[in-house]
Structure 1
Amino acid sequence: MVIFLLERYLIVDFQGKGCTMNPPPIHGETTHFSQTPTLEIVYAADDHYVVPLVAAISALVESQKSEPYEMRVTVLANQMSPSNVELIENLRTLGLSSENLRVLDISDRIPEGLPSRSPHNTYISQTAYARFLAPQLAQGSSDRILYLDADTLVKGSLEPLLTLPLGGRPAAAVCDRIIETVSHPQGLPNWRDLGLAPDAPYFNSGVLLMDCQLWRDEQIAERLYAYCFGRGDDLELFDQEALNAVLGREIVALDPEYNMFTNHLCNETVPGEAPLQRDPLSPEDIASARIVHYIGHLKPWKPGDTASIETDMFFEALDRTSLSGWRPTNVVTSSAGHE
């Protein structure tokens, strides 16, 4: 019998300020396994995000190959071309069986007419809303899944997430490093109407540990979609606003190491304002991260990216796949041999 114990986690104190470290334990939730446990990972992508998705799955497999659990990976593919579906399925050569890597076409599953423009964001793909469906489309009988954005890279063990106490809450996520509270200008414009305190934490939706049964029983996907339709073109950050507005009080806060924003934001500015991320992460911060997130507009697979540790990590993962050697034009990396 294998027993996994969670050593450290975070919860949110809505009466106090933001996230609190090492709260009293939630009793009775240690999971006992009579067989090899399974960690189910779900990504969502369309043709525009195939390259980062290939790197993401490569990094996931490499980082978890010595872990004492089985992995199942589901890709929710929205309007994806057959050639790109085949490209993803060929990642089984990395060590995933046909049962443990599947591509599921969800082109007709996302409701039509969801907002795609907002006051501060000119456009977003409808694929961003696919994460709401992840618990309903999970493989097998998993009681929880880990949803990851396609622009994330897994570096460390995910074992603690197998037994993280959710305490009857539907999801766990990391407090956003840029939009720290709901009252931030890009947080929840309607935070007062929702009865939230101005310093209530705001969560990033790029990494979500989700309770599948609770998600289904409480029709959370339907509630999230209804919120998005209700807000229309006033929806600020699309799926992320909905998640915080509908579920904010119920989200367990994960340690930042599970969603570490890369330093690309230090080079990204809003006209007339300072860089979005003012405090660059040290190499030690990046090294300790379990999951890094290429958030923002500057990304390694886009022309114009600059040299960084995080950029090199991305191409190292990509070069373990059939896309080895692929580079966008005008991208510079800091490692010798990359052009």
Structure 2
Amino acid sequence: MTLDNAPYPDPSSSNDSVSAGRRPVRACCYTIDEGYLLPTLLSAFQLRRDLPTGIADVVILCFGSPSGATRAAMELCAAEGVRFRLLPRSVLDGNPMICARFFLFPLLGGEYTDLLYIDGDTQIIGSLEPLLTYPLAEGRVLAAPDPMAVMIASADGPWPARRAYFRQVGIPDDAQERYFNSGVMRFGLSDWDAVSRECLDLCRRKGDGFAFRDQDALNLVVGDRRDPVSFRWNFPPFFLNFGAEQTIRPRLYHFMSNPRPWQGPFRPWGGAWHAPYAPLAARHPDLARTMRPLRAARYCRYVVQQRVKQFRESRIWGAPGVRARIDAMEARASV
């Protein structure tokens, strides 16, 4: 099926790399719009190459209109063994893209029972099979701590104000240290249906009051039904500033804030993490055009900003007490 013949591919017959037969009950899924196509394709291809096809499908749900970029993405995915679906934005019922993950049950529930959701601003350097095959208890969500949870009890810096904010939106002190990041989560799709409905309702009623819209809603709704996983499966690259990579041995790197590695070889990742995007962009100009280039002034600001952050974060996050909190979280991780 091509975009020329069907502007929005039928989900039941979208391009598949897996031959006819019994499909995996698991899938790894990304939800994006065209602006995140290039980084998401890189992440999905890295994931697919290191994961046996019998363990899980890899699926990209892209919301928007047909274009040269989506056509290129569909062709690349067919070659790489990744399922690609282009869906109209109307599927989201007027909700912002950040809420697209709350529509996974109606979009995929007829095909899979077990889902690993992954943000597109990631790179994957090893197999995610241990995370995908870890026994998932009914009604539970597997997710890593958000970096804020490491520092939330601190008396200095922005953390007293952040604690006050969390209390204001309904996340009590004891839950703040369990606050999880929503960029990588594994869950049963049937359980996700109810979670999603509650989160969408919260976002509609209180979303303007949330600093971290979907993530705050998820932490309120899921609460203590979250089982913690290691930062290995959702590693914040600024942890590179204080050497946490050596002990955590990450397989999934999540670039949670600007700048991101496709924007340039900034610290702490440098050229090694920037370079993989270049071949995709060079071979497929339509994909390259989805990435807006940085203006020179902003690029220079990022260079200076990242140098300052590297110095500051190596001192604050590398302190023995903070490292001990990270180690304690790792010790409590289910997988």
Alignment match of 2:189 (pick from 212, 216, 221): 212
Matched, 1:78 2:53: no
Higher strand share: 1
1:258-295 alpha-carbon deviations (Å, 9 max, x no partner): 000112xxxxxxxxxxxxx7953455358x21210011
C-alpha displacement of 1:69: 2.5
Q: Is the 1:78–1:105 contact (alpha carbons within 8 Å) kept by the matching residues of 2?
A: yes
Give the Cα–Cα distance (whole angstroms) in 1 for the partners of residues 240 and 262 of structure 2.
23
1:229-266 alpha-carbon deviations (Å, 9 max, x no partner): 12142111011111111112211111110000112xxx
SS at match of 1:260: coil
Matched, 1:41 2:17: no
Matched, 1:165 2:126: no
Give the Cα–Cα distance (whole angstroms) in 2 for the partners of residues 46 and 85 of structure 1.
10
Give the Cα–Cα distance (whole angstroms) in 2 for the partners of residues 189 and 195 of structure 1.
9
1:25-54 alpha-carbon deviations (Å, 9 max, x no partner): xxxxxxxxxx88554111111122122112
Q: Is the 1:172–1:208 contact (alpha carbons within 8 Å) kept by the matching residues of 2?
A: yes
Q: Is the 1:186–1:237 contact (alpha carbons within 8 Å) kept by the matching residues of 2?
A: no
Give the Cα–Cα distance (whole angstroms) in 1 for the partners of residues 278 and 56 of structure 2.
20
C-alpha displacement of 1:225: 0.6
Paired AA for residue 73 in structure 1: V
Give the Cα–Cα distance (whole angstroms) in 2 for the partners of residues 140 and 315 of structure 1.
38
Q: Is the 2:46–2:124 contact (alpha carbons within 8 Å) kept by the matching residues of 1?
A: yes
Paired AA for residue 69 in structure 1: G
Paired AA for residue 79 in structure 1: G
Paired AA for residue 262 in structure 2: W
Give the Cα–Cα distance (whole angstroms) in 2 for the partners of residues 38 and 311 of structure 1.
37
Structure 1 residues 182 and 284: CA distance shift in structure 2, 3 A: closer
Paired residue for 2:257?
296
* More deviation, 68-77/154-163: 68-77
Paired residue for 2:242?
280
Structure 1 residues 194 and 238: CA distance shift in structure 2, 3 A: closer
Matched, 1:109 2:91: yes
Paired residue for 2:74?
89
Matched, 1:63 2:39: no
Give the Cα–Cα distance (whole angstroms) in 2 for the partners of residues 193 and 239 of structure 1.
13
SS at match of 2:45: helix
Pairwise mapping of residues 86-235 of structure 1 onto structure 2 (< 5 A)?
Answer: 86-92=71-77, 94-96=79-81, 100-112=82-94, 114=95, 126-138=96-108, 140-180=110-150, 185-186=161-162, 189-191=165-167, 194=170, 196-198=172-174, 199-216=176-193, 219-235=194-210
C-alpha displacement of 1:228: 0.8
Q: What is the RMSD computed on CA atoms of the aligned residues?
A: 3.3
Q: Is the 2:237–2:254 contact (alpha carbons within 8 Å) kept by the matching residues of 1?
A: yes
Structure 1 residues 252 and 312: CA distance shift in structure 2, 3 A: same
Matched, 1:260 2:260: no
Higher helix share: 2
Give the Cα–Cα distance (whole angstroms) in 2 for the partners of residues 196 and 294 of structure 1.
27
C-alpha displacement of 1:318: 5.3
Structure 1 residues 59 and 163: CA distance shift in structure 2, 3 A: closer
Q: Is the 1:180–1:202 contact (alpha carbons within 8 Å) kept by the matching residues of 2?
A: no
SS at match of 2:139: coil
Structure 1 residues 151 and 285: CA distance shift in structure 2, 3 A: farther
Q: Is the 1:202–1:244 contact (alpha carbons within 8 Å) kept by the matching residues of 2?
A: yes
Paired AA for residue 36 in structure 2: Y
Paired AA for residue 209 in structure 2: D
Q: Is the 1:147–1:209 contact (alpha carbons within 8 Å) kept by the matching residues of 2?
A: yes
Q: Is the 1:55–1:153 contact (alpha carbons within 8 Å) kept by the matching residues of 2?
A: yes
Give the Cα–Cα distance (whole angstroms) in 2 for the partners of residues 134 and 311 of structure 1.
35
C-alpha displacement of 1:319: 2.5
Q: Is the 1:172–1:209 contact (alpha carbons within 8 Å) kept by the matching residues of 2?
A: yes
Paired AA for residue 146 in structure 2: D
Matched, 1:312 2:272: yes
Q: Is the 2:33–2:97 contact (alpha carbons within 8 Å) kept by the matching residues of 1?
A: yes
What is the TM-score of this pair, normalised by structure 2? 0.67
Structure 1 gap ranges (5+): 1-34, 115-125, 264-276, 333-339
C-alpha displacement of 1:224: 0.4
Give the Cα–Cα distance (whole angstroms) in 2 for the partners of residues 256 and 40 of structure 1.
21
Give the Cα–Cα distance (whole angstroms) in 1 for the partners of residues 260 and 78 of structure 2.
26
1:116-143 alpha-carbon deviations (Å, 9 max, x no partner): xxxxxxxxxx211101122332265322
Q: Is the 2:143–2:227 contact (alpha carbons within 8 Å) kept by the matching residues of 1?
A: yes
* More deviation, 51-60/292-301: 51-60
Give the Cα–Cα distance (whole angstroms) in 2 for the partners of residues 106 and 88 of structure 1.
16
Structure 1 residues 186 and 63: CA distance shift in structure 2, 3 A: farther
Structure 1 residues 135 and 240: CA distance shift in structure 2, 3 A: same
Q: Is the 1:179–1:186 contact (alpha carbons within 8 Å) kept by the matching residues of 2?
A: no
